[in-house]
Chain A
């Protein structure tokens, strides 16, 4: 990316204590928390024409039960946080693209009114969210006709722009957005013929299978994938086939479905191009930054939260995590958290079915009295235990009737317990069979 070093002299530079990159649910909650913890000189940067991020196109309900104890739609949930940011008089810039973040926290931004600007920040909260895995990431054979959309693009077209991407629809992937769009397009008069999922389990929440597929009699075909796309200018149909345990199509199981649109709901990827440029260390599992107990990256003063850190299922948890990041950023700025004073860093090791944890490591002195550690499992487990070990000592052994990769799990670590364990070298989180 352009770092524009030779031009920096000419570009207007402004100083901020805190720059928040992204005005979606994570950025809004981080901003609120930072302001309430004493940060005055701060700004939120948003590339879209309004605050609220992806919630603006998530018009379905089910948001906010944890946060507000009532069921809201996406735009309503976003508005609650937008109102708080406005009440607290927190400045924000819309239609503003962040071009670059440097390791010394110079944030280069651009918009139509002010052109190019450099903001020198003391702390940065990364809250850029995630984006969808595109067709190119899937290696589907067949033509390249019009009519193939990612589910989120279709959601934006239907919900915000008022267009129908198709009348006869096949959906590949059972991620939540795909399931939500199956219902939405059915209600708008389209025929959703089938939802195909490569894995033997759904990637979406159970409730979405019930209320988006079962309610409308839409079949969900597990262990199935698209092996051919038919059509030259526009999709005419697709061929589905069952796959074996290694994801290979099984000959003889092919089925042709005529359709004029194929929606892809095949996963989300944290959007970390800016983080990478800044030198933030990323996790190979989550594609998000590796963070410590303060949600701080390897660059002191650069924090991450929400879907840019790891993809969440529930916005409520994004808000909660982002509030922690905002509070920690405030502490950093106000000097309560002196940088790298040589405390011991305890790694959290995910193993036996646990794919990753956020945070990935803990400085016990810096953690709050209680710390939520979130993780995902790599397969479907039933009647097993989530166990946490401090070195060899098991401190948590919690029974879980069902766990699936589509649903984020959490454990609560207590500072006292960690302090009491002498010579703590590592924490292990694993799944144990009953």
Chain B
């Protein structure tokens, strides 16, 4: 049996969570978390770690030059760099609304990139 010590990243509390595993990839116990989210994070982190990725893309004709974006749900940790790389050069037309899909199925993860900011069109 081996133990993995983790710091939960589910929220800024940063709980210290311990995951006990049976050595064959099976989880035998999770302790130290203070909410359900913490347990879910710990289980996932030792099997298939994922992250939400945030970035920005350019806007054409908007009141702001850039719009912030995120992956609509978490993607595998190993796909983070590819995700941000494939957003390079992407430019969207204003207006942009929170939740608008900016790029579909990013880096083959099946997850969409959505806007996280309202950017009104520039009134000429």
List A residues at the B interface (Cβ < 8 Å). Answer: 50, 56, 59-62, 65-66, 71-76, 79, 158-162, 187-189, 205-207, 209-211, 215, 313-314, 401-402, 407
Check B7 against A207 for contact (C-beta < 8 Å).
yes
Cross-chain contact A160 with B65 (CB below 8 angstroms): yes
A60:B66 contact, CB within 8 angstroms: no
> For residue B77, which residues in chain A have a CB less than 8 angstroms away from its CB?
215
Q: CB < 8 Å: which of A73, A161, A162, A313 contacts B116?
A: A73
Chain A residue numbers with a CB within 8 Å of B58 are 162
What are 7 A-B contacts with C-beta separation under 8 Å?
A59-B70, A59-B116, A160-B56, A188-B55, A205-B12, A209-B7, A211-B9
Contacts of B64 in A (CB 8 A): 50, 160
Q: A59-B56, A209-B7, A314-B12 are in contact. Are A215 and B51 (CB under 8 A)?
A: yes
In angstroms, Cα B55 to Cα A401, docked, is 35
Bound complex: CA of A59 vs CA of B57, how far in Å?
A: 12
- Is B104 among interface residues, defined by CB-CB distance under 8 A? no
Instruction: Choose from B9, B12, B14, B55 the contact partner of A59 (Cβ within 8 Å).
Output: B55
10 closest residue pairs by CB, A with B? A206-B14, A59-B68, A75-B117, A65-B11, A207-B9, A73-B116, A187-B84, A207-B14, A206-B7, A210-B7
Bound: A113/B29 CA distance, A: 63
CB interface residues, B 31-88, toward A, < 8 Å: 51-56, 58, 64-66, 68-70, 77, 80-81, 84-85
- Which residues from chain B contact A209 at a C-beta distance below 8 Å? 7
CB–CB A65/B10 < 8 A: yes
B8 at the interface (CB under 8 A from A): yes
**Alpha-carbon distance between A362 and B85 when the two chains are bound, in angstroms:** 53
- How many residue-residue contacts, CB under 8 A, span A and B? 89
Nearest-CB distance from A203 to chain B (Å)?
14
Distance of A162 Cα from B55 Cα, bound (Å): 10
Residues of A within 8 A of B117 (CB): 56, 59, 75-76, 79
Contact of B122 with A by CB under 8 A = no
Cα separation A207 to B8 with both chains bound (whole Å):
6
Q: Is the CB of B55 within 8 A of A61?
A: no
Partner of A79, one of B56, B66, B70, B118: B118
Interface code B75-114, partner A: CB below 8 Å = 1, 0 otherwise?
0010011001100000000000010000000000000000
- B56: chain A residues at CB < 8 Å are 59, 158-160, 162
Residues of B in contact, count (CB < 8 Å): 32
Q: How far, in angstroms, from A192 to B120 measured CA to CA in the complex? A: 34
**B118, closest chain A residue (CB):** A79
When the two chains form their complex, are residues B12 and A62 in contact, meaning their CB atoms are under 8 A apart? yes
Interface centre among B6, B7, B8, B58 (most CB of A within 10 A): B7
Chain B residues near A314 (CB-CB < 8 A)? 12
Chain A proximity of B49: nearest CB distance (Å): 9
Report the separation of the CA atoms of residues A159 and B58 in the bound assembly, to the nearest whole angstrom. 10
Cβ-neighbour of B68 out of A73, A313, A401 (below 8 A): A73
Known: A71-B10, A162-B65, A211-B9. 5 other contacts (CB 8 A): A59-B54, A160-B64, A160-B65, A313-B12, A401-B16
A215 to B85, CA, bound (A): 17
Chain B residue at minimal CB-CB distance from A72 = B116
Report the Cα distance A326→B8, complex, angstroms.
33
Rounded to whole Å, the gap between the CB of B41 and the closest CB of chain A is 10
- Chain B: which residue is nearest A313 at the CB level? B12
B53 neighbours in A (Cβ, 8 Å): 187
In the complex, chain B residues whose CB is within 8 Å of the CB of A205: 12, 14
Identify which of residues 1-30 in chain B touch chain A, using a CB-to-CB cut-off of 8 Å.
6-14, 16
Whole-angstrom distance from the CB of B27 to the nearest CB of chain A? 19
- Contact A75 to B84, CB < 8 A, known contacts A160-B64, A210-B7: no
For A313, list chain B residues within 8 Å (CB).
Answer: 12
A61 touches B52 (CB 8 A): yes
CA distance A50 to B53 in the complex (A): 25
Contacting pair A207 B12 (CB below 8 A): yes
Interchain CB contact (< 8 A) of B54 among A50, A66, A73, A407: A73
In the docked arrangement, what's the CA distance between A158 and B68, Å?
11
Min CB gap A168→B, angstroms = 17
B55 CB to nearest chain A CB (Å): 7
- Of A72, A76, A187, A407, which contacts B80 at CB under 8 A? A187
State whether B70 touches A61 (Cβ < 8 A). yes
Inter-chain CA distance A158–B69, complex, in Å, is: 13
Taking the closest CB of chain A, its distance from the CB of B96, in whole angstroms, is 11
**Complex interface: chain B residues within 8 A of A188 (CB):** 55, 84
Do A79 and B65 touch across chains, with their CB atoms under 8 A apart?
Answer: no
Chain A residues with Cβ below 8 Å from B70 are: 59, 61, 73
Please tell me if the beta carbons of A160 and B98 are within 8 angstroms of each other in the complex: no
**CA A403 to CA B69, docked complex, whole Å:** 34
How far in angstroms is the closest Cβ of chain A from B48? Answer: 14
